[in-house]
Structures are given as C-alpha cells and as structure tokens.
C-alpha cells in the first residue's frame, strides 16, 4: 500500500522535508505538496527577483542535505564562504528535490498549486478549494506570517503603505524617485533599501534604537561550548566576555534550542524582553557585499537611518510611501486558514509566548488545546519559534526535516 504524506507549504522547509522523505523512504510513498506558488522552494525568502539580495548565510551553511554539508557550495560552484543570490537557492532546492525523487523508485511527488484552507485530523485530510486529500501524515510548513503592523498604520492612507514587502512585486507600485520611509532597520529593510535605491528612490529607515544588522566576517572557531547557562543573563554575560562575538554566536548556535528549552517561562520572557534586540542584530547578519553597498548608499545620502518614533515620521507627509519592515508577526500564525481550522477544532494551540504553534519539542508534533499530541500532524520551521526559538534558518530546518522524515517513513 502506498503511504501518502501531505506537506502544507512548499517553500524552503516544505521542500527540505520532501527531500528528506525522498532520501529515506524504502516503501511506496506519495508526497503531496500544497503550495499556491507556481514553483516549489521559493517561499518568502528565495522568491526575490533582485540578484543583489544575497543569502545571509554563507554557502557552507546552506546545504539541503544533512549528511553532505558541502552540497550547496559544490552545486553553485563557489567556496563555502561565499554569499550566493537568494533566488539561486530556490533553484537549488528544486533541483535537489527532483534528483532525490528520481533516484528513489518508491517515491512520487505531486504539487497541488492551491492554498490549503482546512486541515482535519479525523480523517486526516487537507482541503484546498474543491480538492480534499487524505493522508497518513501532515507536515505544516507555512513559514513566516506577514510583518507586524502597528495599530497606527491603519489610519494612514492605504494607497501609500506597503504592508508586506515580501509579497511578490510588492515594491513595484513605488515609482522611481519616491521618498520612502521604512519602519524597521533589520534585514528586510536592507533588502528593500537596496531595491529602491536602484530605482533612484530616497530611503529613510527608522526604529527605536536605529541599529543595523551586524556584518558577516571570517571567524576563528571556538572549541565546543562548555558553560552551563541558568538564565538569559548568563548567556548575555558570556557572549559579551568572548574575545570574538561572532565565534561565540557560532559556538552557541548548535546549543541554542537546548538552552532556550532549559529556561522556564519567566526566563524565556526575560530573554524576549531584554536580550532579543541584541540577539537579532548579531545573529541575523548581512553578507559583506550587501553591507558595503548599504554603507555606500548611506555615505552618499541615498539612505538615512533615524532613531525614534516611526509614527511621527509616517504621519509627517514627508514621505510618499511607508514600507513595513517590522519582521514577521509570530503571533499571527494561528489566524492563517489551515491553522485556524485546527484551532477551531481544538487540535492546535498557540506556541509559548504566543509565537507560532505549540509543538512537541523533540518531534514537532502538534499539541491540542489541552496539551495532548495530535496524531500524525507536525509543524516545521518558523512556526516552532516559541518551542525552539532557533527554528527559522536552513541549518536548523534541514535537521528538523531529517528527524521528522525519519519518523514519517517508519
């Protein structure tokens, strides 16, 4: 009998789980991916058409294959320290999936090009429009929610606000030469600024602290991590006392999920309140080429960074357009239709601190409203941020995908 595994969302995480399934299964298996985009593997991060948007992880960290970490660098014919255009990565994921499916005679793949709007657990099925597919396992890989939208944005003239710069062609409606305000100074702003300056726009970005993401640089490696951290304060103290903070972050990375899980609710809250900003700026870094381009734009006055109230600036009418670069709204995940249907049925609940969806920490299996395991339904990637904290980038997602595929194929 053929086993059917349904994947909801065919971005990077959905494609990575499909790759792992195709690698591991030795029984007849049909993989069905619900993904509204025409091409798998693109999602929010890798669908950009702008070749100046580079990966923010060096090629050595971006392999789709847990057991062959140089695979992506070899495929793209670059050395491991290079930063490759992000849209190339979508092609890599697709080609890797195709070759793994072709190599395994037990596997077939079907892409249903529609957004799923309902998941039921009994029977286990996913519905998109008229199409209802029953399966033996469901993996939810919906990725990031749209950016956080402060309430005051709702009173601005809608025609001059870009709420989601990650939507395909979102910046197309900003005309050449426009004066644009970006709310937020993180990696999304960097992408937006680079694209808009290329159309002769002037860009001002604002955030409370005006901090830009740090820059990647070659780092010495630290020996394995030995300190025991009992609180977020311990972690931050340790980080601040390391001679090379990049090396310290690299040493911390494989341990981050374990450390996050070792904090109790109060500890996690303290981290989110006091350490998150410092963490985000240092952990999510720009490629050096991107940083040089941005620095040049700043030096030439094409891009300005301001600290302070975004609302005052946005309401000042000094700007033709306002673009939300606030980062994903982790608390909005459950209002997305396939998850909302599970919430309504009591088959899902919000993740810790309202981030994403609550899952078993080891497997990614969903938890019901009362905390029981939902049979054969799993989440992967960004949706697990509350449970794992570090669950948004490829190195972690591919490991999650491998572990989950191993469970699904037995």
Ligand X SMILES: Cc1cc2nc3c(=O)[nH]c(=O)nc-3n(C[C@H](O)[C@H](O)[C@H](O)COP(=O)(O)OP(=O)(O)OC[C@H]3O[C@@H](n4cnc5c(N)ncnc54)[C@H](O)[C@@H]3O)c2cc1C
For ligand X, which residue of 305, 379, 393, 408 counts as binding (CB under 6 A)? 393
| Strands 179-183 and 321-324, bridge-based pairing | parallel
Nearest approach in angstroms of CB 301 to ligand X is 26
Is residue 389 at the binding interface for ligand X, with CB under 6 A as the rule?
A: no
How many CB atoms lie under 10 A from the CB of residue 233? Answer: 14
For ligand X, which residue of 23, 268, 347, 392 counts as binding (CB under 6 A)? 392
Nearest approach in angstroms of CB 368 to ligand X is 21
Nearest approach in angstroms of CB 351 to ligand X is 14
Nearer to ligand X by Cβ, of 180 and 379: the residue is: 379
Which stretch in 23-31, 142-150, 261-269, 315-323 sits in contact with ligand X by CB under 6 A?
A: 142-150
| Strands 124-128 and 118-121, bridge-based pairing | antiparallel
Nearest approach in angstroms of CB 92 to ligand X is 12
H-run or E-run covering 146: none
How many H-runs (helices) and E-runs (strands) does the chain carry?
14, 14
Cα 1 off chain centre by: 35
- Residues 40-59 close enough to bind ligand X by CB under 6 A: 43-45, 55-57
Is residue 127 at the binding interface for ligand X, with CB under 6 A as the rule?
A: no
Which are the contacts of 102, defined by CB distance < 8 A and separation ≥ 6? none
Is residue 337 at the binding interface for ligand X, with CB under 6 A as the rule?
A: yes
- Residues 184-243 close enough to bind ligand X by CB under 6 A: 188, 191
Classify residue 371 by burial, with Cβ atoms within 10 Å: 0-12, 13-18, 19+. Answer: exposed
Nearer to ligand X by Cβ, of 25 and 188: the residue is: 188
- Residues 338-367 close enough to bind ligand X by CB under 6 A: 338
Cα 186 off chain centre by: 14
Q: Outline where 229-275 has alpha helix (H).
A: 232-240, 245-252, 256-262, 265-270
Nearest approach in angstroms of CB 324 to ligand X is 13
Which stretch in 10-18, 175-183, 217-225, 350-358 sits in contact with ligand X by CB under 6 A?
A: 10-18
Q: At what angle do helices 245-252 and 232-240 cross, to 10 degrees?
A: 140
Report yes or no: 25 and 409 within 8 Å, Cβ to Cβ: yes
| Strands 202-207 and 124-128, bridge-based pairing | unpaired
Is residue 7 at the binding interface for ligand X, with CB under 6 A as the rule?
A: no
- Residues 51-110 close enough to bind ligand X by CB under 6 A: 55-57, 86
By CB under 6 A, name the binding residues for ligand X.
8-14, 34-37, 43-45, 55-57, 86, 115-116, 141-144, 188, 191, 337-338, 381-382, 392-394
């Amino acid at each position: 009998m053929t086993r059917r595994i349904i994947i909801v969302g065919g971005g990077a995480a959905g494609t990575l789980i499909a790759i792992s399934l195709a690698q591991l299964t030795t029984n007849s298996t049909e993989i069905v991916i619900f993904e509204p985009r025409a091409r798998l593997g693109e999602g929010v991060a890798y669908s950009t058409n702008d070749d100046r948007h580079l990966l923010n992880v060096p090629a050595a960290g971006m392999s789709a294959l847990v057991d062959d970490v140089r695979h992506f660098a070899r495929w793209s014919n670059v050395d491991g320290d290079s930063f490759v255009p992000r849209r190339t990565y979508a092609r890599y994921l697709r080609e890797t999936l195709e070759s793994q499916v072709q190599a395994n005679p037990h596997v077939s793949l079907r892409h249903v090009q529609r957004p799923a709007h309902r998941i039921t657990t009994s029977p286990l099925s996913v519905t998109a429009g008229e199409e209802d597919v029953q399966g033996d396992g469901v993996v939810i890989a919906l990725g990031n929610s749209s950016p956080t939208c402060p309430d005051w944005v709702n009173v601005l003239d809608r025609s001059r606000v870009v709420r989601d710069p990650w939507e395909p062609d979102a910046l197309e409606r900003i005309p050449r030469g426009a004066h644009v305000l970006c709310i937020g100074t993180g990696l999304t702003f960097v992408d937006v600024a680079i694209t808009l300056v290329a159309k002769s726009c002037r860009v001002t970005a604002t955030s409370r602290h005006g901090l830009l993401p740090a820059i990647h640089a070659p780092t010495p490696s630290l020996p394995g991590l030995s300190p025991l951290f009992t609180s977020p304060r311990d972690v931050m103290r340790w980080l601040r006392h390391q001679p090379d903070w990049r090396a310290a972050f690299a040493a911390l990375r494989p341990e981050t999920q374990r450390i996050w899980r070792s904090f109790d609710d109060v500890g996690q809250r303290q981290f989110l309140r006091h350490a998150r900003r410092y963490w985000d700026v240092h952990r999510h870094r720009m490629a050096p080429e991107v940083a040089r381009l941005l620095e040049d734009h700043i030096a030439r006055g094409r891009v300005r960074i301001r600290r302070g109230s975004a609302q005052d600036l946005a309401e000042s009418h000094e700007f033709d357009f306002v673009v939300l670069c606030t980062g994903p709204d982790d608390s909005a995940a459950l209002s997305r239709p396939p998850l909302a249907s599970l919430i309504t049925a009591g088959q899902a609940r919000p993740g810790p601190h309202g981030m994403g969806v609550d899952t078993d920490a080891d497997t990614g299996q969903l938890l019901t409203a009362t905390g029981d395991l939902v049979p054969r339904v799993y989440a992967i990637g960004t949706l697990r941020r509350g449970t794992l904290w570090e669950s948004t980038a490829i190195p972690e997602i591919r490991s999650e995908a491998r572990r989950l595929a191993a469970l699904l194929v037995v």
